[in-house]
Amino acid sequence: MSDDNHTLPYPAADSEHPTLVIPGEGADAPAPRRRKRWPWVVAIVLVVLVGLVVAAEFIARAVLPGVVRSMVIEQLDLPADQQLDVTADGILLPQLIGGRLDSLQLSTDSVTLEGITGAVDVTAEGVPLRGGDLDGASGTIRVDESQFTELLSGTELPVDAVAFEAPNATVSGSVSVLGVAIPISLTVTPGVADGDLELTPVGLTVGGLEIDAEQVGSSLGALGANLTQTQRVCIADRLPAGLTLSDLQIDGSVAVIDVDVDGAIVTDETLQQPGVCPQS
């Protein structure tokens, strides 16, 4: 080979010509970064916990009505098959843990107490789950014309039937004058005074004729005078002693009676028993 075409030597490595390193090759290549998994784990745990809480809430709402229903039926000595709907407000789990329900509603389309049948709705506030009195309670009782007639059956009024025409009620019956039965219809506006029914007369017919107060007194004597005066009727003996009448309104074909409930009725058995009317 001729010296005219000699091979040049490869340049030596120096700082001006650094050797390039291909990424991923060589012993000093950095390891690939691993993705963090803990956020996904936390999310899955939270989803599971939420699911458990929701399931527990559904279970509580399914179980609580039956428990409350059984307690009410036992305390008031109602029939075992008594229809009674129970609902509670708010999220139940925190209330159950705290041992107190914020608000509880009980309702039935028909219940019989001391011979009087009606629909009842009661709302109780601050219901203790481990014993104790209610913070308070109130409700309404709805009775039809026939049951309202029963409420008045123990009075001195001549009551055979009652007809509603809001805001009044007409009491029909008969009185005996000289051995002759005379039909009487007394129209009154019902209300409540000091826990008693109050009947304020607004009209009277005797024998089918409308008459004024003076005519009643002269023709029917003491009975006639009583008919023209406001009547007070105690029905405490028809209700648990823990219930007090607060208002009464005629609404269509029913009388709506509002009641206040003593919070101690759940612990004091005497308040669960029928009340007492004062002797006249």
pLDDT recorded at residue 11:
56
pLDDT recorded at residue 35:
59
- Range picked from 28-37, 85-94, 126-135, 193-202 for highest mean pLDDT: 193-202
Q: Count, in order, helices (H) and strands (E) of the chain.
A: 5, 12
pLDDT score of 100 more than 80: yes
pLDDT recorded at residue 220:
58
CA–CA separation, 216 vs 205, rounded Å? 9
Q: What is the pLDDT of residues 235-278, one digit of tens each?
A: 888 888 999 999 999 999 999 999 999 999 888 989 988 889 88
> Mean of the pLDDT values across residues 159-176?
89
pLDDT recorded at residue 180:
79
pLDDT score of 31 more than 80: no
CA–CA separation, 258 vs 156, rounded Å? 24
Vertex 208, ends 202 and 214: CA angle to 5°? 50
Q: What is the rounded average pLDDT for all residues in the chain?
A: 80
pLDDT recorded at residue 12:
57
Q: What is the pLDDT of residues 112-137, one digit of tens each?
A: 887 889 999 999 999 888 888 999 99
**CA 58, 63, 66, 70 torsion: positive or negative?**
negative
| Extents of the domains making up the chain | 39-140
| Greater model confidence, 17 or 72 | 72
pLDDT recorded at residue 91:
83
> Mean of the pLDDT values across residues 46-70?
69
Least confident of 157-166, 224-233, 260-269, 270-279: 224-233
